[in-house]
Amino acid sequence: MSKNDPIERHTIAVLVDNEPGILARVVGLFSGRGYNIESLTVAETDAEGHRSRITIVTRGTPMVIEQIKAQLDRLVPVHRVSDLTMEGPHVERELALVKVVSAGEKRVESLRIADIFRAKAIDSTIGSFTFEITGSGEKIDAFVGLMKPLGLAEVSRTGVVAIARGERGM
């Protein structure tokens, strides 16, 4: 392992049996081996087959990324590990709920910016808006950044979900 190897960001999808402890296995693997988790999402995607899909965004040298995939694949309840970053073009999306508490000109400005970002107001009171926004992580970062001076009160983000472009499936 060379210290000069570049650090890469990879998005990895993992298909697992939806059984107790599976998330702890995956998270424990990352913490135990000192790998980094930038984002992790999980939900059941096939109720009949009891399968869940975990999407992990991680960073590491190419050798570490290979290790992460091999280590994930070694877990007994894991069916498939797919490195979306390596395997061709893919789309990534994240959803965020952003609460802004303000009045007057700031309130109007937050609505205007939300419109530009195609964020929806899904809850509002006289003094607040809650926006729903989807997009890439950077887009959400940008939106949240703009809301800061406009009364940003709270953010809840899902983490990244991702899927390969085109006809390819996992």
Partner 1 sequence: MSTAAKSPTTQDTAQMNGAEIVLKALVEQGVEVIFGYPGGAVLPLYDAIFLQNSVKHILVRQEGGAVHAAEGYARSTGKVGVVLVTSGPGATNAVTGLVDALMDSIPIVCLTGQVPTHLIGNDAFQEADTTGITRPATKHNYLVKDITKLAQTVHEAFHVARSGRPGPVVIDLPKDILMGKGEYKSAEAFKRVSYTPRLDPDPKSIAQAVDLMLSAKRPIFYTGGGVINSGPEASAALTKFVRQTGFPITNTLMGLGAMPAADPLFLGMLGMHGTYEANLSMHGCDVMVNIGARFDDRVTGRLNAFSPNSKKIHADIDPSSINKNVRVEVPIVGDAGRVIAALAAEWDRRIAAGAKPDKKALAEWWAQIETWRKRDCLAYRKSDSIIKPQYALERLQAITAKRDDVFITTEVGQHQMWAAQYLKFQKPNRWMTSGGLGTMGYGLPAAMGVQIAHPDALVIDVAGEASTLMNIQELSTIAQYRLPVKVFILNNQYMGMVRQWQELLHGSRYSESYTESLPDFVKLAEAFHCVGLRATKTSEVDDTINEMIAIKKPVIVDMCVDQMENCFPMIPSGAAHNEMILGPDDKGNKGGGAGPISEEGMVLV
Judged by the rule CB under 8 A, the positions of this chain that interact with partner 1 are 1, 16-17, 20-21, 24-25, 28, 32, 63, 66-67, 70-71, 73-79
What is the smallest separation between the CB atom of 116 and partner 1, expressed in angstroms?
45
Residue the block writes with tokens 């009160």: 153
Q: Which is nearer to partner 1, 71 or 134 (CB)?
A: 71
In 5-160, alpha helices (H):
22-32, 62-74, 104-116, 137-147
What is the smallest separation between the CB atom of 139 and partner 1, expressed in angstroms?
35
Q: Which is nearer to partner 1, 31 or 156 (CB)?
A: 31
Q: Which is nearer to partner 1, 57 or 78 (CB)?
A: 78
Exposed / middle / buried, residue 71 (Cβ in 10 Å: 0-12, 13-18, 19+): middle
Task: Find all residues with CB under 8 Å of 117, minimum gap 6, and list them.
Answer: 133, 135, 139, 142, 143
What is the smallest separation between the CB atom of 77 and partner 1, expressed in angstroms?
6
